[in-house]
Amino acid sequence: MIAVVQRAAEASVKVNGEVVGSIGRGLLVLLGVARGDSERDAEWIARKLAALRIFSDADGKMNLSVADVSGGVLLISQFTLLGDASKGNRPGFSRAEDPAAARVLYERVCGLVETGGLPVARGRFGESMQVALVNDGPVTILLDSKGMNEPSVADGPP
């Protein structure tokens, strides 16, 4: 599972001109579900999103999580993160999970983040969406669950 995490001053997503999800301060997360991803990948991503300390404290250091700043999370499914353009100029998407299985894991990540106490706004899975973002910083972090280690006690629950 791949996540592009952007620290947002605000973000929103539209489908057919209608805003279907928005947040103020928080995280805009573009989530790509890879073939073979599992519940374990979803749990790891959700835990990382909740614990990621990319908001500035009073000293200007990135030391606070989205919960610490009472922020929200806008989670958008984006299979194109798994695109491979290493051969030719048209990306292939064979690394992306099939839509039915990907939807289940996307929804699972959303649910785990919500269960962890964070407000979650969503895009619409499988729809063409227009995403607006005011990237704060800018700060953009890439997460890849395939590089995960066993979670430590310090990571806490998702």
Residue 125 annotated among the catalytic residues of the structure: no
Q: Which of 6, 78, 130, 140 is catalytic?
A: 78
- Pair 69, 7: CB distance under 8 Å: no
Q: Which of 80, 93, 115, 130 is catalytic?
A: 80
Residue 79 annotated among the catalytic residues of the structure: yes
Q: Which of 79, 93, 115, 125 is catalytic?
A: 79
- Quote the CA–CA distance of 121 and 19 in Å, as a whole number: 11
For 91, phi then psi, to 5°, come to -70, 145
Amino acid present at 104: V
Residue 55 annotated among the catalytic residues of the structure: no
Among residues 12, 4, 50, the alpha carbon closest in space to that of 29 is found at: 4
The catalytic residues are 78-80
